């Protein structure tokens, strides 16, 4: 009887390693592990070469955060988010006649891709994105005015991707990058 050699384990991707590091950091911030335990587990995660090597580092941790979604709606008036607010993975903004102002420049963005769906009737929308963000407006349909967006020339790699989709009636959308 001859034994067949096992296939070598698949190498660990950078995305899987980054996700493991984020889970460990979240577990520490939420008080599930001590500082010393986080250091030890981070070392295991950063030196892992296969997905199986991550198992001991992630053992007994609570499950990661679910893909978050949120809806903000107003018939009239103003929708405004600014400062250090937590941006969900998917954000739906609905406004029939009001103004929308989303400032993501100092917001807590935990996801590499954020989808913002705009459902706007009339009125204006302004979105300020981080300096290093990449903005995609291909999925946005406008009836009357075109959106105003110039990609940043000074953007650095590694920023979040902000995908803006949805429909705008007779309003106007202005997107700009933060200066710092």
Q: What are residue 29's phi and psi, to 5 degrees? A: -60, -35
pTM over 0.75: no
Model pLDDT for residues 24-70, shown as the tens digit of each residue = 887 777 778 888 988 999 999 899 888 888 888 888 877 655 567 88
Q: What are residue 20's phi and psi, to 5 degrees? A: -65, -40
* Beta bridge partner(s), residue 164: 116
State how far the Cα of 88 lies from the Cα of 20, in Å rounded to an integer: 20
Model pLDDT for residues 64-115, shown as the tens digit of each residue = 555 678 888 888 888 999 998 889 999 999 988 889 999 999 998 888 899 9
Model pLDDT for residues 119-174, shown as the tens digit of each residue = 988 878 999 999 899 999 988 888 776 566 767 665 566 789 999 999 988 878 89
For residue 14, what pLDDT is reported?
80
State how far the Cα of 177 lies from the Cα of 134, in Å rounded to an integer: 9
Beta-carbon contacts of residue 7 (< 8 Å; ≥ 6 apart):
none
């Amino acid at each position: 009887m001859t034994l067949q050699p096992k296939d070598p384990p698949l190498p660990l991707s950078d995305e899987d390693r980054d996700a493991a590091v984020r889970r460990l950091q979240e577990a520490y911030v939420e008080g599930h592990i001590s500082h010393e335990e986080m250091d030890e587990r981070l070392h295991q995660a950063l030196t892992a070469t296969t997905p199986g090597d991550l198992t001991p580092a992630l053992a007994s941790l609570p499950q990661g955060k679910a893909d978050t979604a949120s809806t903000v709606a107003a018939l009239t008036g103003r929708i405004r988010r600014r400062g250090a607010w937590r941006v969900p993975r998917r954000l739906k903004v609905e406004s029939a006649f009001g103004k929308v102002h989303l400032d993501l420049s100092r917001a807590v963005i935990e996801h590499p891709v954020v989808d913002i769906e705009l459902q706007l009737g009339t009125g204006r929308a302004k979105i300020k994105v981080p300096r290093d963000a990449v903005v995609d407006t291909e999925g946005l349909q406008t009836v009357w005015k075109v959106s105003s967006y110039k990609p940043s020339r000074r953007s650095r790699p590694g920023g979040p991707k902000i995908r803006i989709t949805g429909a705008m009636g007779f309003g106007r959308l202005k997107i700009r990058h933060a200066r710092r």
